[in-house]
Structure 1
Amino acid sequence: MLTKYRIGEGWLGYPQSHRWSAIVDVLQSGSGLILGLFLLAHLHFESSILLGKAAFYRVANVLEGGWFTSSGHGSSLLTQTFSVFMLLVVMVHAATALRRFPAQRRQWQALRNHNLLINHQDTRLWFWQMVTGFLMFFLVPMHLVTMITNPEIGPHLSAARVWHDNYWLVYILLLPAVVIHAMLGLYRLALKWGVNFHRDGLRLLAKILIGYLLVLGLCSLTAYLLIGSGLTTPVTPFIP
């Protein structure tokens, strides 16, 4: 004979679990939104090098708070502070997103079989977002720690970092990973939070942005490589 026991939901922790899950979900979405919007701005700021050294020099001074000084020259402390803040945002986003990663071999097999058997575009996009997120787990902190320990930026200093310090090897991997992950993430956020329910149109927009940002980023990286290859060490900061 079976005896039924009634256990209250409060004791089981269901309300607390649901509340915590909702908080984590908001943290993941909020941090992802900050990172995605930052990437859009960052790549466009970096692309000012395509307009010439003087253009990038002016942009760098503005971003470093040059408007607060009488000389118009910014401070690298602002770059360090913002890099620390972005690193914290990345850590929050990674910690809250890891719960969605397949943790066991059978989960990976189920995901692979699902992709093979069901022709579902959003599932494939989620898979690539997960793969690029895994790559970013290593590459993004490397980039941000570099900006914290060596925050000097400018046409010559940034180009020297790319060419002489061989950071192009990091950026050539980081660029496609972060662009694909961020744009697919913004696409999923727009659907999830009801910003726009036109799935096909949003998906097309995400793909267009991915292509555009990849071309923009590669052109900027090429410009830094060309400038850096013409510099001799020790590198003299650019002054217009």
Structure 2
Amino acid sequence: MTNVTRAHKKVSTQLSHPWSAKADWLQSATGILLGLFLLLHMHFESSILLGKEAFYQVVQLLEGGMFSPSGHGFPLVTKVFSVFMLLVVILHAALALRRFPAQLGQWRALRTHMKNINHKDTHAWFWQLVTGFILFFLVPAHLFTMIMNPEIGPHLSAERVYHDNAWLLYALLLPAVVIHAMIGLYRVALKWGLSSRRTALSNVAKMLITYLLCLGAASLITYLFIGSELGTPVQPFVPK
């Protein structure tokens, strides 16, 4: 008889590292934080549509003006919060890079998959991927501006937009961040079972994208008009 010797090799059945699930959760958590912040930020910013006085009061409130004897807020608050948001963005981007196609072949496979399988969620994920890549460059530029020059006000913000030509940055940032954030919140809601009504969630995401784009565009145009009327050097707005 012939003796057959079999070498038994232990094969790991673990498909992913335990950190992967934690990274998914952390990516979703930071995404929700950034998405909700965007909703609040755009509405605070759009108070300029109600007039210079309204925007000035909102800024003083957010910068802790109620704790100042003069009633004027502390720009340091904006600087510190901008640093915090930059750290959150870096963490979120680092976690998202795990899913990013790193090779040309992966991009081709993705495009082929999208062509052969016309699935709306796949297309949504693709656009979130594209906008995420754009935001990787635009968001730090915006936050660094706020860190280096945290002074905010009807005139000072308009000066940044018009005289410093920041309108170009914001014109690119606005559609990218709105589309990325709303698709992200939609996908998180489905992924973690917050809602199973896919069609309803998709419609809400589309309505929010349209609404926020209109709101942001109106605010940006208002800053451009205010900036065009300001002489140099620009003086901070003083309420009546």
TM-score over 0.5 (shorter chain)? yes
Shift of the alpha carbon at 1:232? Answer: 1.2
Q: Which runs of 5+ in 1 are unaligned?
A: none
Output aligned runs, 1:135-154, within 5 Å. Answer: 135-154=134-153
CA distance in 2, matches of 1:119, 1:88: 36
Structure 2: how far apart are the matches of 1:3 and 1:184? Answer: 53
Residue identity matched to 2:66:
W
* Per-residue deviation, 1:197: 0.5
Letter in 2 for 1:192: K
- Asked if residue 125 in structure 1 is aligned to residue 124 in structure 2, the reply is yes
* Aligned counterpart for 2:8 among listed residues 5, 10, 13: 5
CA distance in 1, matches of 2:81, 2:205: 27
Structure possessing the higher radius of gyration over alpha carbons: 2
Structure 2 counterpart of 1:208: 207
Amino acid at match of 1:86: M
Q: Deviations over 1:116-169 (max 9, x none)?
A: 111100000000000000000000000000000000000000000000000000
Q: CA deviation at 1:2?
A: 7.3
Alignment-derived partner of residue 56 in structure 2: 57
TM-score when normalising by structure 1: 0.95
Q: SS of the counterpart of 2:17?
A: helix
CA–CA distance in structure 2, aligned partners of residues 236 and 201 of structure 1: 48
Match of 1:112 in 2: 111
CA drift at 1:59 = 0.3
Aligned counterparts of 1:5 and 1:63: Cα–Cα separation in 2: 66
Amino acid corresponding to residue 233 of structure 1 in structure 2: T
Match of 1:93 in 2: 92
Give, as a single letter, the amino acid of the residue that structure 1 aligns with 2:87.
L
Distance (whole Å) between structure 2 residues aligned to residue 3 and residue 232 of structure 1: 87
Letter in 1 for 2:154: P
Alpha-carbon distance in structure 1 between the residues aligned to 2:45 and 2:18: 40
The 5-angstrom pairing of residues 1-240 of structure 1 reads 3-7=6-10, 9=12, 14=14, 18-240=17-239
* Cα deviation, residue 114, structure 1: 1.0
Matched position secondary structure for 1:162: helix
- Identity %, equivalent residues: 65
- Counterpart amino acid of residue 136 in structure 2: F
Distance 1:225 1:60 in 2: 19
Runs (4+) of structure 1 moved beyond 6 Å? none
Change (3 A) 1:8 1:68: farther
CA distance in 1, matches of 2:171, 2:196: 34
Task: Return the letter of the residue paired with 2:91.
Answer: V
Give the alignment's Cα RMSD to 1 decimal.
Answer: 1.5
Amino acid in the other structure paired with 1:73: H
Aligned residue type for 1:215: C
TM-fit CA distance, 1:8: 7.4
Q: Which moved more, 1:169-178 or 1:17-26?
A: 17-26
Paired letter, 1:40: L
For residues 11 and 195 of structure 2, the distance between their equivalents in structure 1, rounded to whole angstroms, comes to 39
SS across alignment from 1:86: helix
Task: Tell me the alpha carbon deviations over residues 149-192 of structure 1, each in whole angstroms, 9 at most, x when there is no partner.
Answer: 00000000000000000000000000000000000000001001
Unaligned runs of 5+ in 2: none
